[in-house]
A = this chain, B = another copy of it.
Amino acid sequence: MAKVPYRIYLSEEEIPKNWYNLRADMKEPHDPLISPATHEPLKKEDLYPIFCEDLAAQEMDYTTRYFPIPEEIREFYKIYRPSPLCRAYNLEKALGTPAKIYYKFEGNNTSGSHKLNSAVAQAYYAKKQGLKGLTTETGAGQWGTALSEACAYFGLDLTVYMVKTSAQQKPYRKAIIETFGADIIPSPSDTTEAGRAILAKNPNTGGSLGCAISEAVEKAVTSDSCRYVLGSVLDQVLLHQSVIGLEAKTAMEKYGEYPDIIIGCAGGGSNLGGLIAPFMKDRLDGTKNPYFIAVEPASCPSLTRGKYAYDFCDTGKITPLAKMYTLGCEFLPSPNHAGGLRYHGMSPTLSKLYHDGYLDEARSYEQTKVFDAAVFFAKHETILPAPESSHAIRAAIDEALKCKQSGEEKTILFGLTGTGYFDMTAYMSYLEGSMTDYIPTDEDLQKGFDSLPKVE
């Protein structure tokens, strides 16, 4: 076997031809989406006013194992994929570990993250259905950027409701989304009933993700030519993100490698779900037994401290209910929390796998520990990681140090979801020593749990 290169690039032909639907191999399906009014399971037709039809069908399909990736989407993927699988030789050396560390790097595109993998797919299906445009919300801005790229490519209008404080604090993110031709509306706005109601009550509010979702959904459902799209949590998103894991597995196989430990950061679960998908298949098939670790912020600990319960997918309580690990849809991480991974819940698929013991471990870190790892990684691997991705780096380093202690030559794979070029404010507060940690108290969490809907 040849020496593994620093960067393994598959060829264009090796970009997956199918997405892999992990639900088809799960021992038990996760509980279905239900109506918040009747608590009855939803049918795909119930989703048509919100999502375009192909995506609604993907969302509800628990049995089709492989979905062919349409040629138009593969053509777009070829612009920025396959993404490199990287061997972290320099990090290994700096740690003095016998472990072999790999990371799948999804940051080499202008959105700066893996979000583009699903944005392209969602924009394509909207175009195919003859829609004119899409609406979405964005907080940190990676999803908004990814979707604006995809919509520019397919010639779709895009309206992004951006949390007003984010739009003010991150003018560069706003600018990059506008460069791709999307309209940004700081939320709450006077363009929707939801926005006007909130403004009437509180004219000076800086907005919230929940409010932005409400506005984006309202804008979509009140239009015939427009639908709403979401960048994480949903099964359709995990399906699209399976390209991450499929490529990683193919690239490792070329060098006779298979991971002993697979690590991903987890907010809504899009990256982790995509990365682990084909490896989890091996686990479910009984052919391999990798160890899976989900890493989340101590300030937003849905898997490690949440409840496995039905909850709204949004803070505004207008979406269907999903069974998932959740902190309650009214939970908000403390204001000192930097970067993403601030979602109150977790992908229903990942929640079920965790609940059933297939996703082996969930682990949380305080953010200063995460930034220690980020800066160490940057100096040795020369990539400036996103705060989100750095949660996975932290865990990978800790696992590699355990190997150093034990002398085990484990093979570690983690997801490096993106770059931190638009997160320099957080890096600055870390470098200046002004970054603080906050672990919610049980009382803090109880307030969130009190917002859970009552479902028998």
- CB neighbours (8 Å) of A440 from chain B are none
Q: Which 6 A-B pairs have the closest CB atoms?
A: A172-B424, A6-B78, A152-B379, A5-B12, A9-B9, A175-B424
A383 touches B179 (CB 8 A): no
User: Does A109 make an interface contact (CB < 8 A)?
Assistant: yes
A179 touches B378 (CB 8 A): yes
Residue in B5, B9, B384 whose beta carbon sits within 8 Å of that of A179 in the complex: B384
A residues sitting closer than 8 Å to B (CB atoms) are: 5-7, 9, 11-12, 78-80, 90, 108-110, 112, 149, 152-153, 171-172, 175-176, 178-181, 375, 378-384, 419, 421-422, 424-425, 427-428, 431
A424 touches B153 (CB 8 A): no
Residue in B108, B179, B383, B424 whose beta carbon sits within 8 Å of that of A171 in the complex: B424
Interface SS, A side? helix
- CB neighbours (8 Å) of A171 from chain B are 424, 428
Least distance between A8 CB and chain B CB atoms (Å)? 9
In this complex, the member of A9, A175, A431 whose beta carbon has the largest number of chain B beta carbons within 10 angstroms is A175
- CB neighbours (8 Å) of A419 from chain B are 110
- CB neighbours (8 Å) of A153 from chain B are 90, 379-380, 382
Least distance between A312 CB and chain B CB atoms (Å)? 34
A179-B384, A179-B427, A181-B379 given; 11 more Cβ-contact pairs under 8 Å: A6-B78, A7-B78, A80-B382, A90-B153, A109-B383, A110-B378, A152-B382, A172-B424, A172-B428, A175-B431, A176-B384
Copies of this chain per assembly = 2
A149 touches B5 (CB 8 A): no
Task: Contacts A175-B427, A379-B180 given; indicate if A7 touches B110 (C-beta within 8 A).
Answer: no
- CB neighbours (8 Å) of A421 from chain B are 112, 172, 176, 421-422
Distance, CA A176 to CA B427, complexed state (A): 8
- CB neighbours (8 Å) of A380 from chain B are 152-153
Task: Contacts A375-B179, A421-B422, A427-B176 given; indicate if A79 touches B381 (C-beta within 8 A).
Answer: yes
- CB neighbours (8 Å) of A428 from chain B are 171-172, 175
Distance, CA A118 to CA B90, complexed state (A): 20
- CB neighbours (8 Å) of A108 from chain B are 108
Distance, CA A112 to CA B176, complexed state (A): 16
Residue in B5, B11, B110, B172 whose beta carbon sits within 8 Å of that of A383 in the complex: B110
Nearest B-chain residue to A178, judged by Cβ: B431
Least distance between A375 CB and chain B CB atoms (Å)? 6
A5 touches B78 (CB 8 A): yes
B382 touches A79 (CB 8 A): yes
Least distance between A424 CB and chain B CB atoms (Å)? 4
Least distance between A71 CB and chain B CB atoms (Å)? 14
- CB neighbours (8 Å) of A90 from chain B are 79, 153
Least distance between A125 CB and chain B CB atoms (Å)? 18
Distance, CA A427 to CA B12, complexed state (A): 32
A7 touches B79 (CB 8 A): yes
Residue in B5, B172, B180 whose beta carbon sits within 8 Å of that of A378 in the complex: B180
- CB neighbours (8 Å) of A80 from chain B are 7, 382
In this complex, the member of A9, A181, A381, A419 whose beta carbon has the largest number of chain B beta carbons within 10 angstroms is A9
28 interchain pairs (CB within 8 A)? A7-B12, A7-B79, A9-B9, A79-B90, A79-B381, A80-B382, A108-B108, A109-B382, A112-B421, A149-B382, A152-B378, A152-B380, A152-B382, A153-B379, A153-B380, A153-B382, A172-B424, A175-B428, A175-B431, A176-B384, A176-B421, A176-B424, A179-B384, A179-B427, A179-B431, A180-B379, A181-B379, A421-B421
